[in-house]
């Protein structure tokens, strides 16, 4: 079950082919054996007829009137041993080998028979003929071993089987190549699906697919349709819920601020401060949920445009500096052009979450550095801090929604890095966590496919550039 479909099909085709080769080899063997038997049986009958023609009766005795040299000539063979025997009408031995097996059946006068037998533990082929002599019938037999016959059968078998095996091997190779060509539509379907972004849930075209693949594509399209509907439903729920929450939260925050300005007791002011803080955090959570809903996979994005990460950071630079000053954190910027293709609002949220995360977990007196630039054909956004850092065992978990490292400070809700990951993935990028070269804190690096500046300016003829800022 773990083998490939190509291998599975090849096995199924190779098995019957090998059975056909075996069957063909068996037929070839039977044909070769029959041909060798007929040819050598015919040659084996010649010495039998020669010996039978030289039987003479001298008085009451039946004799073989053939010189010994002639008999030896009949028995000469370069590969096999030849035996002969002449039996009289009463079964007496007239000449030849006494132990030669008798014919399996009684022969009529002037009839002959061929049969297989064993002589001294060795297989032999025997030709026997009944010769009419007065006053009865003599039996003349000539036997030879089967060396030549076996050799001829083997040669004929090899001559017929080797081409069959070569054809079989060639057929297997053609099967392998042909099945590979036949499965190309599946490879193309795989590549087509793999090339899609997680947001692209459009149906896969069925028109150019083979009939056998259309059922699979149809089932895949139905699954994509249900998945797209489920994602859209989830996004609508999150967006609607967040929108519904924003209005009462904004009112609650306004009323809390108004109440704080009125004369009140110390306990009431403390309670109002707590309500205001919790309302602010809840509003932040709602905004993050809205961002997460926009960043999740769904329909393909239509608002992608060239974005310079340098300019994205510079846009909110003053607000981040004020927040850093308020916490006594040294915030520095090392910004170079880094063009990518994406949605400006989402990329701005990505940068905001990275900076918010760094400032939230860096202690007063610490430092945070933001860098943008192009490296090795990629656009990079880095945020480095010297805070408590993220343990290596927690670096995969911090990208999970609502996950927070135990026993850490900060007032986050565990969605910041999850949003960063979703937005980066939507733009074909990745997010990497590591420890800075100094050995303390956290270095978060978002890496995106780079868009050449020339291509970006071709789309945006008028481009404003922010001068790189350093500490």
Percent of the chain beyond pLDDT 90?
Answer: 15
Give yes or no for a contact between 449 and 428, defined as CB atoms under 8 angstroms apart.
yes
> Phi and psi for 402 in degrees, rounded to 5?
65, 15
Give the CATH class of 211-293: mainly alpha
Per-residue model confidence as pLDDT tens digits over 434-456: 888 877 889 999 999 988 765 66
How many angstroms separate the CA atoms of 441 and 38, rounded? 96
How many angstroms separate the CA atoms of 272 and 414, rounded? 25
CATH code 2.30.30 for 5-153: no
Q: Which residues are within 8 A (CB) of 51 and not within 5 positions of it... i.e. 6 or more apart?
A: 64, 66, 71, 74, 84, 86, 140, 142
* Token output for 250: 């904004």
Pair type for strands 136-145 and 305-308: unpaired
Q: What is the pTM of this model?
A: 0.48
Give yes or no for a contact between 53 and 131, defined as CB atoms under 8 angstroms apart.
no
Per-residue model confidence as pLDDT tens digits over 255-268: 777 777 777 677 77
What are the domain boundaries of the chain? 5-153, 211-293, 303-459
Give yes or no for a contact between 338 and 466, defined as CB atoms under 8 angstroms apart.
no
How far, in Å, are 291, 300, 309, 337 from residue 400 at the CA level? 15, 24, 25, 31
Residue 49's nearest CA partner among 110, 119, 134, 109 is 110
pLDDT score recorded for residue 388: 85
* Residues linked to residue 66 through DSSP beta bridges, in sequence order: none
Per-residue model confidence as pLDDT tens digits over 158-173: 888 888 889 888 988 8
**CATH number assigned to the domain with residue range 303-459, chosen from the 4 options 3.40.1450.10, 3.40.710.10, 3.30.565.10, 3.60.21.10:** 3.30.565.10
Would you say residue 370 has pLDDT above 90? yes
* Token output for 192: 């087509």
320 vs 243 pLDDT, higher one: 320
Per-residue model confidence as pLDDT tens digits over 176-231: 888 888 888 888 888 888 887 767 788 888 887 888 888 888 898 899 889 888 87
* Token output for 24: 């063909």
* Residues linked to residue 385 through DSSP beta bridges, in sequence order: 368, 442
> Phi and psi for 296 in degrees, rounded to 5?
-65, 155
């Amino acid at each position: 079950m773990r083998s490939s479909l190509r291998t599975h099909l090849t096995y199924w085709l190779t098995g019957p082919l090998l059975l056909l080769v075996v069957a063909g080899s068996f037929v070839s063997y039977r044909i070769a054996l029959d041909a060798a038997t007929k040819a050598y049986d015919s040659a084996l009958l010649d010495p039998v007829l020669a010996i039978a023609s030289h039987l003479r009766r001298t008085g009451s005795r039946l004799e073989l009137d053939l010189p010994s040299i002639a008999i030896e000539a009949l028995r000469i063979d370069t590969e096999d041993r030849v035996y002969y025997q002449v039996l009289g009408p009463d079964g007496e031995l007239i000449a030849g080998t006494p132990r030669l097996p008798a014919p399996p059946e009684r022969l009529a006068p002037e009839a002959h028979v061929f049969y297989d037998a064993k002589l001294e533990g060795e297989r032999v082929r025997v030709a026997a003929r009944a010769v009419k002599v007065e006053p009865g019938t003599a039996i003349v037999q000539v036997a030879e071993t089967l060396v030549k016959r076996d050799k001829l059968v083997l040669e004929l078998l090899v001559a017929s089987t080797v081409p069959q095996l070569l054809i079989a091997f060639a057929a297997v190779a053609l099967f392998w190549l042909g099945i590979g060509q036949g499965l190309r539509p599946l490879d193309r379907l795989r590549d087509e699906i793999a090339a899609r972004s997680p947001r692209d849930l459009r149906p896969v075209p069925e028109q150019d697919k083979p009939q056998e693949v259309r059922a699979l594509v149809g089932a895949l399209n139905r699954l994509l349709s249900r998945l797209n509907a489920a994602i859209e439903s989830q996004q609508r729920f999150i967006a609607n819920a967040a929108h519904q929450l924003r209005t009462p939260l904004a009112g609650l925050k306004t009323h809390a601020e108004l109440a704080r300005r009125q004369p009140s007791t110390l306990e009431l002011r403390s309670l109002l401060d707590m309500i205001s803080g919790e309302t602010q955090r809840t509003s932040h959570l709602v905004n993050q949920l809205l961002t997460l809903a926009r960043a999740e996979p769904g329909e393909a994005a239509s608002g992608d445009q060239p974005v310079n990460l340098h300019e994205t950071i510079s846009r909110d630079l003053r607000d981040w500096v004020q927040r850093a000053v308020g916490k006594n954190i040294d915030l520095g910027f090392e910004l170079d052009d880094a063009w990518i293709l994406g949605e400006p609002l989402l990329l701005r949220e990505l940068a905001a979450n990275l900076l918010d995360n760094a400032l939230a977990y860096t202690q007063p007196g610490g430092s945070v550095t933001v860098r943008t630039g192009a490296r090795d054909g990629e656009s990079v956004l880095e945020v480095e801090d010297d805070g408590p850092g993220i343990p290596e065992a927690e670096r995969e978990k911090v990208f999970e929604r609502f996950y927070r490292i135990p026993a850490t400070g900060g007032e986050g809700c565990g969605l910041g890095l999850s949003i960063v990951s979703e937005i980066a993935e939507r733009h074909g990028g990745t997010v990497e966590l590591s420890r800075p070269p100094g050995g303390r804190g956290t270095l978060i690096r978002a890496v995106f496919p780079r868009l050449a500046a020339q291509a970006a300016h071709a789309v945006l003829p008028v481009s404003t550039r922010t001068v790189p800022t350093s500490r």
